[in-house]
A and B are shown apart, each in its own frame.
Chain A
């Protein structure tokens, strides 16, 4: 019989005997220990995190050694001695308790939210944040403005029928730009679809954005995807794929490849509050924790998944509390505070890379725009709520106040910037619109690395059909 079983049964006998004599002795186990997120318990690692090769040792726990996992090896806080009141199960030791206490479904207090700037753009006293240089601060600001204008103008272009579809990141400019600014170009970005700002930060030009939206022959996607499905392997930004949360396991895979290559880089993946309901969310977080993969899981909790508010999406306290369920560190930040987002991602990245662990960042924000051009959100939420967040809680104006407060920006800089971006965009749209669409051959290439015979045959049939009935096919598509 297994030793633990023997010990346990004799323990049970002794404990039963004790219970009869003095029930008061067990009162200290009554209350469940509160979840402590502020202090991360030191997890003993059997491999030392030494410099160099030691960083990338794979998970120290092997299933077949029979050892307890490192997390459970940390002794219980009550300082029990001799293992008398402990049970040994696969997974490690646990203290037992004679009273039945269910963990509450939520904590009394919601998890606190990290912020650096108050609503007037002044740093909150005592706030700790990552300093930024004037150059960096101004670059962040102007990219946030650029993103806002880009969204506005492309949205208008869709309304005018010039592009078929668009979705904006209004209200989430700080998330987009500040998180991108905290990363290096080697960090791999796996977006959902509301993060073009990350690509903008990395150097994707307005013309390149326009080309993709118009699906012209200069589009890197060769006209195969809807607007806003940008991708650039040069800038380490994975092509947007419409299904929700499929990019989360991809991120774990990308981090796995970084780990294999021992690179000083991490993967970061973005998703919304709605994406946390997908099965891929659960498994990706679980995998990343088990594999100790350097991924940042960035949740843009903007309150709405099309028309589904968060109250109908989940009953947990947002996404941040789920980190601990997977054995992962997490933090909640004010997503409309550029400096808070910047600082949190900066530190998360450091932890992910140096400690080889995933981090969950939940940024609270609000989706000011409609879900997309196919949505009218006034149908399911009050207009004054939208207005409030669009004006009083705007991340750009808040950050602008801080930048201007430092004497780094002026009103004339502002109007100059806005004008030039607007001009550049209108120009880019005109150029993109006039550019021809990809030729017919591109319908059949890249399905495989080389065109197979069946696709060649299908292409031939299509060309024949067009030759025979040219009037039935658009004249401006190159054959």
Chain B
């Protein structure tokens, strides 16, 4: 059981991270502590450009610093939109490209209202050619703009793979640093509700090898807004993975401006017995399993890794040094998924701290079927997570 006052120590300034100059930033990411946890979370501001410390006002968080206001409730897609609006207001080079993002407002309404606010040129509806509008984003970025490129579904960005891999990831390097590509590539991915195989893809596995890219996955309205802002401000190309089933999550987020750190993981529930690493929608399956596990007397530590490339090995390592047991829960397919890379990174760095083999729960190597029962069977369910923890902790 996490003590009420236990706070996961924020990653200290010495942690090297992509895109930051170590030493001149205040603290680190805000930590949200969720449902099944008894622990408290204090939130501190992260990111280079935040002027003042923002506070996450969370219910059940006695240790949270005094907030100037109560915050406001938003749905996840609204949090993403808020982030876009704030950044577009402050920085005239930020623009949005995608199919139906303009007057239609985006297929998941993330860009609703933006075209009216900022005009047709800054919120640009593109013809259906993902490779080409991603390429357009690369060209615009090389000339000083900061495009936010939306794939209507992450799966369609496979058509943009050429531009993402050969140009986005590489041109900063091959041009000798002369041209930078500060694009954000975002869109909904993951297994939804009976959307069929082509619309249920987990592209993080395919993109993770591309040098030069950063990848983050949001999972709550709070981190969605913070990560979107950080991604827009980053000088590197960032792929922001959203999940089709999480857009309507509701949460109270701060009224004050805040930016999260792209390279940091989020401590969801501190614990002692096992480190469960997860991200995106699986976070919720894990937390549901955690309820059951707590009733059975286990104390799992749950970390939403958030940063898929690079991994926050500092936070993850600290956790492993404490618990000595690791379970990875992901939605990727078994072969070549994020779990596979995470596993090998942990073995490389923390082998001596492990008391048990690392377990990884992933989807099977099958295209996602349409039938609801079959679809459910390809996604890791809480019961499997409980069983896995019981096995690891034996």
Contacts and interface: CB of A to CB of B under 8 A. Distances in A.
B173 interface: yes
Interface stretch (A75-83, A193-201, A229-237, A394-402): A229-237
A446 B129 contact: no
Contact of B170 (A241, A258, A283): A241
Contacts of A446: 172-173, 176-177
A452 B263 contact: yes
B131 A280 contact: yes
A384 to B, nearest CB: 39
B250 interface: no
A450 interface: yes
B135 A250 contact: yes
Interface stretch (B118-126, B326-334, B354-362, B368-376): B118-126
A259 B19 contact: no
B178 A257 contact: no
A204 to B, nearest CB: 13
A286 interface: yes
Interface string B119-159: 11110111101011111111111111101000000000000
Contacts of B211: 447
Contacts of B162: 243, 246
Interface string B375-388: 00000000000000
Interface in B163-194: 163, 166-167, 170-180
A253 B143 contact: yes
A221 B211 CA distance: 17
A445 B175 CA distance: 12
B310 interface: yes
Interface stretch (A56-64, A135-143, A145-153, A306-314): A56-64
A260 interface: yes
Nearest to A450: B19
B305 to A, nearest CB: 14
Contact of B19 (A219, A238, A251, A449): A449
B138 A250 contact: yes
A284 interface: yes
A220 B310 contact: no
A345 interface: no
A97 interface: no
A456 B139 CA distance: 29
Contact of B132 (A229, A267, A280): A280
B140 A450 contact: no
A279 interface: yes
A279 B166 contact: no
Interface in A360-397: none
Interface in A450-469: 450-454, 456
A257 B145 contact: yes
A241 B16 contact: no
Max count, chain B CB within 10 A of own CB: residue among A222, A248, A446, A451: A446
A290 interface: yes
Contacts of B126: 287
Contact of B136 (A63, A188, A252, A447): A252
B310 A454 contact: yes
B235 interface: yes
B49 to A, nearest CB: 14
Nearest to B132: A283
B132 A284 contact: yes
A415 B231 CA distance: 57
A448 interface: yes
Interface string B15-50: 111111100000000000000000000000000000
Contacts of B142: 238, 250, 253-254
A447 B169 CA distance: 8
B46 to A, nearest CB: 16
Contacts of A453: 15-17, 310, 313
Contacts of B270: none
B322 interface: no
Contacts of B147: 253
Contacts of A454: 310
Given A62-B103, A241-B167, A246-B167, A279 B131 contact: yes
B310 A221 contact: no
Contact of A241 (B136, B144, B174): B174
B315 to A, nearest CB: 12
Contact of A452 (B16, B93, B174): B16
Interface string A212-240: 00000001111011000101110000110
A190 B179 CA distance: 13
A279 B135 CA distance: 12
B212 A253 contact: no
Contacts of B163: 246, 249
Given A246-B167, A452-B263, A283 B175 contact: no
B95 interface: yes
Nearest to B172: A446
Given A260-B122, A280-B131, A283-B131, A449 B236 contact: yes
Interface in A404-446: 445-446
A58 B179 contact: no
Interface string B90-120: 0001010000000100000000000000011
B214 interface: yes
Given A224-B176, A241-B174, A253 B18 contact: no
Contacts of A447: 172-173, 211-212
Interface in B181-217: 211-212, 214
B179 A253 contact: no
Contact of A445 (B16, B129, B177): B177
B347 to A, nearest CB: 14
Contact of A254 (B17, B143, B172, B310): B143
B174 A224 contact: yes
A166 interface: no
25 contacts: A188-B143, A221-B176, A224-B174, A231-B179, A239-B176, A250-B138, A250-B142, A250-B167, A251-B139, A253-B136, A254-B142, A256-B121, A256-B136, A256-B140, A257-B140, A257-B145, A283-B127, A283-B131, A283-B133, A286-B129, A290-B127, A446-B173, A446-B176, A449-B234, A452-B18
Interface of B: 15-21, 93, 95, 103, 119-122, 124-127, 129, 131-145, 147, 162-163, 166-167, 170-180, 211-212, 214, 234-236, 263, 310, 313
Query: Nearest 5 A-B pairs (CB), nearest first?
Result: A249-B135, A253-B139, A250-B139, A283-B132, A283-B129
Given A233-B179, A449-B18, 12 more contacts: A221-B178, A242-B166, A248-B135, A249-B131, A249-B136, A254-B139, A254-B143, A256-B139, A257-B139, A280-B135, A283-B132, A448-B236
